[in-house]
Structure 1
Amino acid sequence: MELVQTPRAPAASGMASDATEAVRPRRAKGLVNEVVESLTASIREGAIKPGEKLPTETEIMGRFDVSRTVIREAISRLQANRLVETRHGVGTFALAPQSSGNFQIADFDFATVADVIALLELRISLETEAAGLAAQRRTEANLAAMQAMLDAFQKSIEEDSDAVPSDFSFHLEVAKATGNRHFANLMTYLGTMIIPRTRINTASSAPEGRLAYLRRVHGEHEYIFNAIRNQDADAARAAMRTHLANSKDRLRKSQTEPV
């Protein structure tokens, strides 16, 4: 199988590039996105066929010169977008790309910052109500799952990760706590693409720096969690609306150029 990769530009020293070894350049969007985009292209273009096993983590690490953490976050995003499935102890396998005439949000729907902001507006409507319902209906198991994602987020940001998988999973657990499967199904369909950091490197470009930025996001998640735990529906709605509105504001301030 062959991964679709974008060749690196020739070195400034004038040395000729090796046409047989294409290496993706390091763009501002981050290393995880580089891997996700390459694997997605390989699957959609048929270089990796449905049912075919992806290269091992070690092989992908070597091809992209990235850490195991980057590879695992990339695979998590591909799983959320239903492009691959992981069979424990066996490996990760490509799924047939889904195509449908029904409602869908695809990668090309995120061509600009305005597109990402538009999705955030959809999320505000969806997740504000989900947070209120979650506060009314959550179980102890729901709270435990949300707390686990908060802990995973905290651990990830201290390990120089963008924390996208745990960020998405926290929001998904809030949706599950509504007791209404349609909230969770829609969130699952949207996948990690709902997190602006998967499209735009807002954390690294934040004025206060990456770590402070992600800690602020973590604090907002904790406000949402505490309101849900306290069964305060109004406070949960307000905390979720504030969190997503802040995401919009951070996005506008951090970037004005196309994604």
Structure 2
Amino acid sequence: MNTVLSARKRPRSLAQELVEALTERIREGALAPGHKLPTEAAVMAEFGVSRTVVREAISKLQAAGLVETRHGVGTFVVGPGEASFRITPEQLETLRDVIAVLELRIGLETEAAALAAVRRTEENLREMRSALDAFAAAVAEGRDAVGPDFGFHLEIARATQNGHFAELLSSLGAKIIPRARLGNETSAELQAYLLRTNGEHQSIYDAILRQDPEAARAAMRTHLANSRERRRRAAGEKN
């Protein structure tokens, strides 16, 4: 039976409803380990949601370790012992852990941004724009912006047209996006940080839009390096 989610809900809550629906199927065995998930188009048709909602839901399922995407094949339910390389929550418990992941992302995502600038499609640009708008709305409303933040970076990986980039980033999941708050910051300081992050995202997008690979590479490196330095200062590191 087809299930149409309420069109009045925000995209973020629609994605969460879709996550819950698919998670229930996985837990009940309707989608067993090793089974391939329906295509994006099939999920969109069944649940009456947009491609953006489907992709955000799949990202959340990947972050939870319930599914993984295999390049050129599809997205599959993950069973015990089947997961590919991933970073567990235990590996993100300290600021030093988060800094280590940011160093990995700098190596991966700066080149992805350059390739995306050369190879992006109009659909890629629309998805990036949608993620940027969702991030800005979340910040303005005081909501968690991790979902659209990860969605923006994941769409850049997809825009490389090299499935390995998106597959690796998907396997890492949304948990690699550092939480914005760092303990003793004031609300004003946090808001300033999120607005600056939004501006950095916009610079990356603009370079990809212009199809300028060097500018895209530099903008992504600046963005991730700024995030790393912010956490280094919080951890009291100098190197």
TM range (shorter): 0.5 to 0.7
Listed as ranges, the gaps of 5+ residues in structure 2 are 1-22, 30-56, 68-76
Tell me which of 113, 117, 133 is aligned to 1:135: 117
Aligned to 2:205: 225
In terms of Rg, which structure is larger?
1
Stretches of structure 1 lacking an aligned partner (at least 5 in a row): 1-42, 54-74, 86-94
- Aligned-residue CA RMSD (Å): 3.0
Does residue 239 of the first structure (1) align with residue 239 of the second (2)? no
Change (3 A) 1:50 1:185: same
CA contact (8 A) 2:124 2:159 kept: yes
CA deviations on 1:104-124 (whole Å, 9 max, x unpaired) are: 321111232111101100000
Query: CA 1:98–1:249 in 2, change beyond 3 Å: closer, same or farther?
Result: farther
How does 1:81-230 map onto structure 2 within 5 Å?
81-83=63-65, 98-100=80-82, 103-197=85-179, 201-202=181-182, 205=185, 208-230=188-210
Say if 1:149 and 1:185 are closer, same or farther in 2 by CA, change over 3 A: same
Question: Percent same amino acid at aligned positions?
Answer: 47
Structure 1 contact 149–170 (Cα < 8 Å) conserved: yes
Q: 2:27 aligns with which of 43, 51, 59?
A: 51
Q: 1 CA distance for matches of 2:205 and 2:181?
A: 25
Tell me how far apart the structure 1 counterparts of residues 227 and 186 of structure 2 sit (CA, whole Å): 12
- Aligned pair in 2 of structure 1 residues 143, 77: CA closer, same or farther (>3 Å)? closer
Shift of 1:235: 0.3
**TM-score, L = length of structure 2:** 0.66
Q: Structure 2: how far apart are the matches of 1:256 and 1:174? A: 32
Letter in 1 for 2:191: L
Q: Aligned letter for 1:143?
A: L
**Distance in 1, Cα, partners of 2:96 & 2:59:** 22
Distance 1:193 1:97, change over 3 A: farther
Distance change in 2, residues 1:178/1:204 (3 Å): farther
Is the contact made by 1:202 and 1:250 (CA closer than 8 Å) also made in structure 2?
no
User: SS of the residue aligned with 1:205?
Assistant: coil
TM-score, structure 1 as length reference? 0.61
Give the C-alpha shift of residue 162 in structure 1.
2.4
AA in 2 matched with 1:240: M
Amino acid corresponding to residue 127 of structure 2 in structure 1: A
Any idea what the Cα deviations from partners look like across 1:7-45, whole Å, max 9, x if unmatched? xxxxxxxxxxxxxxxxxxxxxxxxxxxxxxxxxxxx9xx
**What is the aligned counterpart of 2:62 among 55, 75, 80?**
80
Which has more helix, going by share of residues? 2
Moved more, 248-257 or 127-136: 248-257
CA contact (8 A) 1:206 1:213 kept: no
User: What is the DSSP-based 3-state SS (H/G/I as helix, E as strand, rest coil) of the residue aligned with 1:209?
Assistant: helix
If asked which structure has higher relative contact order (CA below 8 Å, sep 6+), I would say 2
1:82 and 1:166 map into 2 onto residues whose CA distance is 16
Distance verdict in 2 for CA 1:206–1:238, change over 3 Å: farther
Instruction: Report what 2:8 is aligned to.
Output: none
Contact 1:196 1:202 in 2 (8 A): no
Distance 1:181 1:208, change over 3 A: same
Going from structure 1 to structure 2, the CA distance change for 1:132 and 1:97 (only over 3 Å counts) comes to same
CA distance in structure 1 between the partners assigned to 2:66 and 2:85 by the alignment: 21
Q: Aligned partners of 1:187, 1:127: CA distance in 2, in Å? A: 9
Q: Would you say how many aligned residue pairs link Structure 1 and Structure 2?
A: 179
